[in-house]
Amino acid sequence: MTFQAALDAILSGAPPDAAALAVLLACDDTDATGLMDAADRVRAATVGNEVHLRGLLEFSNICRRNCDYCGLRRGNAKVERYRLTPDEIIATACEAERLGFPSVVMQSGEDAWYTGPRLAEIIRAIKDKTSLALTLSVGERDPADYRLWREAGADRYLLRIETTDPALFRALHPDDDLETRKACLFTLKSLDYQLGSGVMVGLPGQTPDTLARDILWLRDLGAEMLGVGPFIPHSETPLADAAGGTLNQALRLVAVLRLVFPWAHIPATTAMASLDPLGREKALQAGANVVMPAVTPTDRRPLYALYPGKICLDDDARKCRGCIDARIRSIGRTVATGPGHVLQGKARSVR
């Protein structure tokens, strides 16, 4: 199948096909321009020109997992570990709202100190003190915890599948199980969270075909927020010497996701800006519509080192807010003021 035939097929509204998606993901630089232009047109026609801000609050870098690609893995003894107290988390969320963030993402490693009830108390306190939309990203937990947090007021949950290829998942996650990860996502969906998932691009052993199958699985899941992270090797992991992913790979994937999920929220991630100073702007022009600046206390940001070269480690949240506003306006987009809830029932539809 040619690139143009694959692009025309998906733009026609036909159900996406793995072979066609693989062709789009593997396209050359010339065709990539057409792919991203098409995705940007779909973005403008569906979710519009507003860019939604999510303040990223990284409240613990302690993790029980030993994922081969992650700088926070349990086996990395060189990480200085930290854990924000409940009062610090609540205060940081309140400050994010004062700075104009309508939504906060509470992210951490899989830190068991934050039990289901303890985290529920934090969620209730933030909801009582603010009007923030609240997203959790704390990994795999028991269904009872997911239910408790939803009842406490959490609006969204982010849990990236990273890959749906069983062999690749097993190679990357020596102490985890793909079916367990899928079961967590199914549970979150059943509890009516606005559900976010996604994949890493540029992983060792990954191909356009495996990525295409990932996309179709996420579509079947009904994911409403799609995160794309380029793989950036960390020196203190088993994949330290692996070749990393590229911004171009990430941009192609953002564009294809926009075509398959025209109504979804798709972030221009910080990792993209770590590969290219204009990485976030380029992603926003390839179909993305969300940016997630850090609101983590400045002294803790360098310690949340998922990958090397992370940007904006020394800037306070106020400076970050002003910077990202200017960057969004520089490409002719506007900053959304609302909570940015998913348009229910539309994120699953194919254009």
pLDDT digits (tens, 9 = 90+) for 36-88: 999 999 999 999 999 999 999 999 999 999 999 999 999 999 999 999 999 99
pLDDT at residue 271 in the model: 94
pLDDT score of 22 more than 60: yes
Inter-residue long-range contacts of 341-345, CB under 8 Å, 24+ positions, other chains counted: 341/133, 341/155, 341/194, 342/194, 342/224, 342/225, 342/263, 342/264, 342/265, 343/47, 343/263
* Residue range 137-164: mean pLDDT, rounded: 98
pLDDT at residue 161 in the model: 97
pLDDT at residue 159 in the model: 98
pLDDT score of 345 more than 60: no
Distance in angstroms (rounded) separating the CA atoms of residues 90 and 95: 9
pLDDT score of 320 more than 90: no
pLDDT at residue 346 in the model: 59
pLDDT at residue 317 in the model: 79
pLDDT at residue 342 in the model: 85
pLDDT class of 338 with cuts at 50, 70, 90 = very high
Kind plus residue range of the DSSP H or E element containing 213:
helix 208-221
pLDDT class of 312 with cuts at 50, 70, 90 = confident
Domain locations in the chain? 3-335
Polymer length of the chain: 351
pLDDT score of 174 more than 50: yes
| Percentage of the chain exceeding pLDDT 90 | 92
pLDDT score of 348 more than 50: no
pLDDT at residue 350 in the model: 29
**CB count in 10 Å sphere of residue 153:** 16
Sheet holding 267-268, edge to edge: 267-268, 290-291, 50-53, 334-335
pLDDT class of 351 with cuts at 50, 70, 90 = very low
Query: What is the b/e burial string over 270-284, where b = at least 16 CB atoms within 10 angstroms of the residue's CB?
Result: bbbbbbbeebbbbbb
* Residue range 121-132: mean pLDDT, rounded: 98
pLDDT score of 143 more than 90: yes
Quote the CATH superfamily of domain 3-335. Answer: Aldolase class I (3.20.20.70)
Query: What's the mean pLDDT when you consider all of the chain?
Result: 95
Query: What is the b/e burial string over 38-59, where b = at least 16 CB atoms within 10 angstroms of the residue's CB?
Result: bbbebbeebbeebbbbbbbbbb
pLDDT at residue 344 in the model: 55
pLDDT score of 255 more than 80: yes
Asked whether the beta carbons of 179 and 45 are under 8 A apart, the reply is: no
* Residue range 221-239: mean pLDDT, rounded: 96
Token look-up 């795999």 returns: 140
pLDDT at residue 313 in the model: 86
From residue 332, give the alpha-carbon distance in Å to each of 30, 44, 51, 63, 299: 24, 12, 11, 40, 33
pLDDT score of 102 more than 60: yes
pLDDT at residue 321 in the model: 85
